[in-house]
Amino acid sequence: MEWFEALALLIGSIMVLMAVGMPVALAFLAANILGAWVFMGGERGVVALLNNGWGSLSKFALVPIPLFLLMGEIFFHTGLGGRMFSAIDRLLGRLPGRLSYVTVLGGTGFSTLSGSSMGSTALLGSLMVPEMTRRGYKKHMSIGPILGTGGLAIIIPPSALAVLLATLAQIDVGALLIAGIIPGLILAAFYIGTIFLQTRLDPEAAPPYEVENQTIAEKIGLLLRDVIPMIGLMVVIVVMMINGIVTPSEAAAFGALGVLVLAIVYRCLSWAALKASIRGALRVTLMAYLIVFGSATFSQLLAFSGASRGLITWATGFELDPIYMLVVMFCVLLVLGMFMEQISMMLLTVPIFFPLALSLGFDPIWFGLIMLLALEISFTTPPFGLLLFVMKGVAPSDTTMREIYLSAIPFILCSLLVVVLLVLFPPIALWLPGLG
Amino acid sequence: QETITAVHAFPETLIYTQSFLSFVDKVNDAGEGVVQIEVRGGPEAIGMFQQPDAVRDGIVDMVYTPGSFYGGALPEKDALVASNLTAIETRQNGGIALIDEIHQEKMGLKYLGWFDSGVCYNLWTRDAPTFDADGNLEVEGLKLRGNAVYNAFFTNYLGAQVIDLPTGEVYAALQRGVVDATGWTQIGLIDLKWNEFLNYRIEPCFFSTDLGVIVNQDRWNELSDEAKTIIQDVAIQHEIDSVNALRAKRDADFAALEEQGMQVVELEGDAKAAYLSAAREKTWERMQELMAEHPMGTANYDRLIELFYDASAD
Amino acid sequence: MRALIRIYDSLLIFMALISAGTLVWLMISVVLSVLMRNMGIQPWAWLFTSAEYGILYMTMLGAPWLVRERGHVHIELVTAALKPALRRIVSRLVAAACVAVSLILAWYGLELFLTNIERNDYDVRAYFYPRWLLTITFPIAFSFMAIEFARFVFGSELMHSGEAGIHE
Ligand code: NA
Ligand code: NA
């Protein structure tokens, strides 16, 4: 079978199954059964797919997500989150869309330091979306910024994906990590600009409600009682990570424990709240991990069948100017990113793209950063970005996939804009590492 | 012309994979018109730990993987792990033939060759290692990264506080001080960039890599005699070539590391002998225990040790 | 028959409770091992391993319950555009396809489980853990899922909510 036939078979079957409304995880599994049957020799292929499934689901790397979810759900169900946001609301006064800005700032800080896109989407999504919806924000004002900052986790150090990319490509890890700082901050600034524009274009997007003026003393009181302890918890976790007391994968457990302790201290931990929190965290985890079960094998079938390698070889086979070759490679990453998980994509593309990039005269660090941006975008590109499904799980139940897609688009455009800036002004990436 | 499919356990850019790919090139040159190996990819095509099952079940015909990835089914791989010989000597003395026989019997696999042998493991540390009055390494307070291959040695003998981490997380763990020491093969440290944090290499080295090519037995039997001969001959030649190539690579890596300030610390005399024999014997112990649980039992135990360990080579 | 249904229901709930307990265990095991490590004690290796295997048990044992809760996310593109009568048919057909997928996986899951026993396969991490203890979750979970999806084929409730057309 030619590579494009294999590609059409695999992607075609999953698109059709998802479009007719088969649950995403089941659609992956069905496409896998078909693909395994065709490419792996019938029945034994299906057995292999199951064999693969338990392998991809018994990894420590998956431990943080349910715990970040638990943390966010406890925050929400005990009312701790509500307290914090009421306080922030009153502290910031009348700024339209204030909680969206808070999301970007808090999300940038937290997701970059945790290094886990899924984890921080899970945490921020379960914490902020229900709370902001309750306060009259349109959903895209909470969903969009969270999806955006979730992706920032892999650009700004520390970032496990950046380390892996640098290792695979045999480039300087430190330089790639440092190269991400300025573009990451620019991206965060673009997010803020996007929210500003959104509140200007549609004043109804963020609630216009008035807040009573507060005296300085009241403000300090609010800050100390309702904001510092919660934010402090996040800070403590981050400090524990930086000092090597916990690995990033372990940090979430302390987050969940910390919120439990706070809830006890604030006397708002009830049996009902705890039950609702576990139930909520479990629902989203199960949904996301059954998709992980299916999509891990789907990525492998794309690779094993030769479909993705064929696409890459074909696309990079043209003789074009360097800048067009860059566009071609970027597009291949975006297309693959819709259907494959990030690590498989790196394993597949790095051995082909990096030598090509070098032969075209690109700086490898600069190119590595552009690849990271493509990977970041692929987390949130319809139809398959896993962050979108996590968001669907944590958002209020009447949230539709379309709303989530539409919320993501402005923030994806921001990332594309950063890529354009990087092409026009490479020093954005290369200036900082060059100092070292 | 016949085609056999293959996958490799590690990413394509890793030196061991490059070695396997050069073997594939050699087969494809020698086998033109007769037999060709078609590489389907690495862990992105079939999961690293699922590859042994995949070749056993005939989903792919050939796999390049450490024996340790299927140590549950074939504990005899520890003979290679604890070996102080290379594929060159063990091919000659019949050791590899015995390993092949065991693969066929236990897993329905043809063991084609032991590649990239002769590379051993060192302990690498951030801070200067300390020694007790008898010259033994002190592991008290060392935050040592471990994994299933070396824990029998690290925990049972050294009594170290082992932190299990996947390879991909070690860089960040070193950076943050979650661990400050790790075992690793003599080569590859630079590729993983761990040398940014590690400053001492402790000699002597212990263990050996156990990377080998396994082929589905039914598929192997279907091949023409001509194809079999080509593949087997090239494999035996590559066993020899890869030993030499990796020795050269090791020397180059060591030189590059020393230039960056990597210090070498050596255990001496009795302490050295005790260290080496512990690494070996704890591993043999594990092998014997696990072999006893299999239907084949421990009948091959003594022969394996005789063929893969030469006291005079230490 | 009614007794049988009651047993089935309590089994499904029991599995979901194990799943929930595992989630809490993830937190406890990580916190314990970090505390031990920072007190200079060697953390029990089974803390780490139980968390890794826990993810699998949690996902598989909880999956049937999630079907009942309609928590598996799906996209209502076609179903939203259809007239109610046709949508009901499509919805039941999709649910039937889910039953088929689950049954296939339950069947081959059983085969994998039996192979693991026959070959005496172990998963090698800190311990040698019999692999059938992991793969036994497949025939169980996918059989239960098949039954749960079948309720959307034959039962009064539909998998694709009536409000789908409004929302998607
Ligand atoms: Na980060
Ligand atoms: Na994607």
Q: How does pLDDT run across B133-179, given as a tens digit for each residue? A: 888 888 877 888 877 667 767 776 777 777 777 777 788 788 878 88
Residue C167 is predicted with a pLDDT of: 36
Task: Find all residues with CB under 8 Å of A61, minimum gap 6, and list them.
Answer: A249, B166
Q: What is the pLDDT of residues A257-275, one digit of tens each?
A: 999 999 999 888 899 999 9
Token look-up 């693991």 returns C116
Rounded percentage of chain C residues whose pLDDT exceeds 70: 95
Reply yes or no on whether the pLDDT at A282 is more than 50: yes
The closest alpha carbon to B66, from B204, B211, B201, belongs to B211
Token look-up 């019938």 returns A42
Task: Find all residues with CB under 8 Å of B155, minimum gap 6, and list them.
Answer: B146, B162, C42
Instruction: Please report residues of B whose CB lies closer than 8 A to that of C38.
Output: none
| Domain around C37 | 2-154
In a domain, C93, yes or no: yes
Q: Mean pLDDT over residues C74-79, rounded?
A: 77
On whether the CB atoms of residues A109 and A123 are closer than 8 A, the answer is: no
Number of domains forming the structure of chain C: 1
Segments of chain B with pLDDT less than 50 = none
Instruction: Report CA torsion sign: B5, B8, B11, B17.
Output: negative
In a domain, C119, yes or no: yes
Among the residues of A93-227, which ranges form H helices?
A: 98-114, 117-134, 139-152, 160-169, 173-179, 181-201, 216-222
φ/ψ (deg, to 5) at B146: -125, 175
Residue A37 and residue A33: Cα distance in Å, rounded? 6
B73 touches chain C (CB under 8 A): yes
Report helix angle A271-304 to A43-57, nearest 10.
130
* Candidates B12, B43, B46; nearest CB to A351: B12
Residue A245 is predicted with a pLDDT of: 83
Residue A246 is predicted with a pLDDT of: 82
In a domain, C64, yes or no: yes
Q: Decide if C27 and A43 are in contact by the 8 Å CB cutoff.
A: no
CA–centroid distance, A296 to ligand 2, in Å, is 12
Reply yes or no on whether the pLDDT at C25 is more than 90: yes
Name subunits touching A (3+ CB pairs < 8 A). B, C
Greater model confidence, B137 or A158: B137
Token look-up 């922030």 returns A88
Reply yes or no on whether the pLDDT at A247 is more than 60: yes
Residue B183 and residue B186: Cα distance in Å, rounded? 9
Angstroms from C152 CA to nearest CA on chain A: 12
CA–centroid distance, A384 to ligand 2, in Å, is 5
The closest alpha carbon to B209, from B160, B269, B250, B162, belongs to B250
Decide the pairing of beta strands B161-164 and B143-146: parallel
Of the ranges A311-325, A376-390, B176-190, B212-226, the best mean pLDDT one: B212-226
State the Rg of chain A over Cα: 22
In a domain, C164, yes or no: no
Report helix angle A322-339 to A364-378, nearest 10.
30
Residue C164 is predicted with a pLDDT of: 42
- Element (DSSP H or E) covering residue B176: helix B167-176
Residue A407 and residue A194: Cα distance in Å, rounded? 11
In a domain, C146, yes or no: yes
The closest alpha carbon to A191, from A264, A101, A258, belongs to A101
Residue C64 and residue C61: Cα distance in Å, rounded? 7
CA–centroid distance, A339 to ligand 2, in Å, is 6
pLDDT bin (cut points 50, 70, 90) of residue C166 is: very low
**What does DSSP assign to residue B139?**
-
pLDDT bin (cut points 50, 70, 90) of residue A113 is: low
Q: Mean pLDDT over residues C64-84, rounded?
A: 84
The DSSP annotation for A302-354 comes to HHHTTHHHHHHHHHTTS---HHHHHHHHHHHHHHHHHHS-HHHHHHHHHHHHH
State the Rg of chain C over Cα: 20
Q: Mean pLDDT over residues C125-131, rounded?
A: 81
pTM: 0.88
Tokens representing residue A101 in the block? 């800005």
Q: Which residues lie near ion ligand 1 (Cβ < 5 Å)? A: A 112, 115, 153, 156, 159
B196 touches chain A (CB under 8 A): yes
pLDDT bin (cut points 50, 70, 90) of residue A387 is: confident
The DSSP annotation for A199-260 comes to HHH-GGGS---------HHHHHHHIIIIIHHHHHHHHHHHHHHHTTSS-HHHHHHHHHHHHH
Residue A383, preceding peptide bond in cis (omega within 30° of 0): yes
A160 touches chain B (CB under 8 A): yes
Token look-up 């008898």 returns B134
Distances in whole angstroms, Cα of residue C94 to Cα of each of A286, A397, C62, C79: 21, 21, 21, 10
The DSSP annotation for B178-233 comes to S-SEEEEESSSHHHHTGGGT--EEEEEEE----EEEEEEHHHHHHS-HHHHHHHHH
Instruction: Please report residues of A whose CB lies closer than 8 A to that of B47.
Output: 52, 55-56, 296, 300
Residue A183 is predicted with a pLDDT of: 92
Rounded percentage of chain A residues whose pLDDT exceeds 90: 24
Instruction: Please report residues of C whose CB lies closer than 8 A to that of A62.
Output: 55
The closest alpha carbon to B291, from B66, B52, B71, B70, belongs to B71
φ/ψ (deg, to 5) at A272: -65, -45
Task: Find all residues with CB under 8 Å of A57, minimum gap 6, and list them.
Answer: A289, A292, A293, C55, C56, C59, C60
On whether the CB atoms of residues A155 and A169 are closer than 8 A, the answer is: no
Q: Mean pLDDT over residues C128-156, rounded?
A: 94
Residue B165 Cα to chain centre, angstroms: 18
Instruction: Please report residues of A whose CB lies closer than 8 A to that of C90.
Output: 20-21
Instruction: Please report residues of B whose CB lies closer than 8 A to that of A163.
Output: 168, 171-172
Residue B62 and residue B214: Cα distance in Å, rounded? 6
On whether the CB atoms of residues B272 and B204 are closer than 8 A, the answer is: yes
Reply yes or no on whether the pLDDT at C163 is more than 60: no
In a domain, C159, yes or no: no
Give this complex's ipTM. Answer: 0.88
Residue B35 and residue B30: Cα distance in Å, rounded? 9
Decide the pairing of beta strands B161-164 and B2-8: unpaired
What is the strand order of the sheet B263-266 is part of? B161-164, B143-146, B181-185, B121-125, B200-206, B263-266
In a domain, C160, yes or no: no
Distances in whole angstroms, Cα of residue A33 to Cα of each of A26, A40, A202, C102, C168: 10, 10, 46, 11, 28
Least confident of A42-46, A87-91, B8-12: A87-91
The closest alpha carbon to A357, from A330, A388, A385, belongs to A330
CB neighbours of residue B90 within 10 Å: 24
In a domain, C115, yes or no: yes
Q: Decide if A279 and C38 are in contact by the 8 Å CB cutoff.
A: no
Greater model confidence, A173 or A50: A50
Residue B66 and residue C94: Cα distance in Å, rounded? 43
On whether the CB atoms of residues A112 and A242 are closer than 8 A, the answer is: no
Angstroms from C52 CA to nearest CA on chain A: 5
On whether the CB atoms of residues A256 and C27 are closer than 8 A, the answer is: yes
A20 touches chain C (CB under 8 A): yes
Token look-up 């997007």 returns A205
**What does DSSP assign to residue A116?**
-
Among B residues 39-68, those touching chain A with beta carbons less than 8 Å apart: 40-47, 49-50, 53-54, 57-59
